[in-house]
Amino acid sequence: MTDAYVRPTVWDDPDKKLFPHQVGFTSPPHDFDAAPSDFLRMAPPTVGVHGRMLHAPVYAHELSQRSDNFHLLEEYAHCMANNGADVVGQVGSNWVHCNGTDAADIRAFCDRMADTYGMPFHMAGMTLVDAVRALGAEKVVLDSVYYWPDWRDGLAGFLRSAGIDVLEALNFVDLGMYPDQEEVNARRWIFPQADAVESVVRAVERAPDAEVVVINGMPNWRRDDGLAQRCLHRIEAMEAAVGRPVIASDTTLYWAIFRSLGVTPTFAPGALLGGL
């Protein structure tokens, strides 16, 4: 995994590819991730999706462990390039700041991955920055949902390093939706569907001048029938409740990948994806 890497030339021949457009996703260790499934359901049949989970046998979702395993992102890019991916996405917002990096650092890292492995490399946290800029916004409120304080503050600092005015950064405890972080953590990123709208409403009440609501991480909202869904499926309801764009780490990552592919999604809810 060096700058001397040579991407297999076999993938230059479209007859050798399974799909005209091939997308790779990765997720943090110990998380079965919804991104490949959601993205595929949004895409036309010319798009294929392949997922790869990072392997870290001992893992407890700590920032230091993400820092220790950051090198696995390049291993992932190497594997995806070898297998003919046209663009890849990294799921999980706080990987962009786990090493104390700012937006310029991560932009340089993503550019190096793209140059080395011959395909765009999108990190979820970086796509939040790009989406805010694409919407022409300056002031945002960060609805940090289940993030515990160091994650919340790290991502807020990352967004500010990109010149974004983060008026407030508020997790579920800050918003008064749960009594403490222990109860939030015990839910393992899955919350009642009603919490999706309630969290953005409370966030905007705390920062009424925000032009965009930003949701980080990978929250899942459980419907009455038991199905848990990412923000993609709740964006329209959230936007309707607060009267402004709402972007989330999943929707901005999908948006960035579709832009790189030059492909229009068949399902594009919300102001950001709808702009495609």
Q: Is 107 helix (H, G, I), strand (E, B) or coil?
A: helix
Residue-wise pLDDT for 89-113, tens only, equals 999 999 999 899 999 999 999 999 9
Does residue 269 have a pLDDT over 60? yes
- The residues that bridge with 145 in the sheet, in sequence order, are 171
What integer pLDDT is reported at residue 60 of this predicted model?
63
What integer pLDDT is reported at residue 53 of this predicted model?
81
pTM for the full model? 0.95
Higher pLDDT, 77 or 54: 77
- Average pLDDT over every residue of 14-41: 93
Query: What 8-state DSSP symbol labels residue 97?
Result: T
Residue-wise pLDDT for 137-186, tens only, equals 999 999 999 999 999 999 999 999 999 999 999 999 999 999 999 999 99
The answer to whether 7 touches 121, Cβ cutoff 8 Å, is no
Which residue ranges form the domains of the chain, and what is each CATH number? Answer: 9-125+252-274 (3.40.50.12500), 128-248 (3.40.50.12500)
Residue-wise pLDDT for 30-71, tens only, equals 888 999 999 999 999 999 999 988 877 776 667 766 677 788
Residue 163: partners with Cβ closer than 8 Å, 6 or more residues away = none
Query: What 8-state DSSP symbol labels residue 174?
Result: T
What integer pLDDT is reported at residue 3 of this predicted model?
56
- Average pLDDT over every residue of 12-20: 96
SS (H, E, C) 136-188: CCCEEEEEEECCCHHHHHHHHHHHHHCCCEEEEEEECCCCCCCCCHHHHHHCC
Nearest to 67 by CA among 149, 160, 154, 164: 154
Residue-wise pLDDT for 223-267, tens only, equals 999 999 999 999 999 999 999 999 999 999 999 999 999 999 999
Confidence of residue 11 (pLDDT cuts 50, 70, 90): very high
What integer pLDDT is reported at residue 66 of this predicted model?
67
Higher pLDDT, 1 or 35: 35
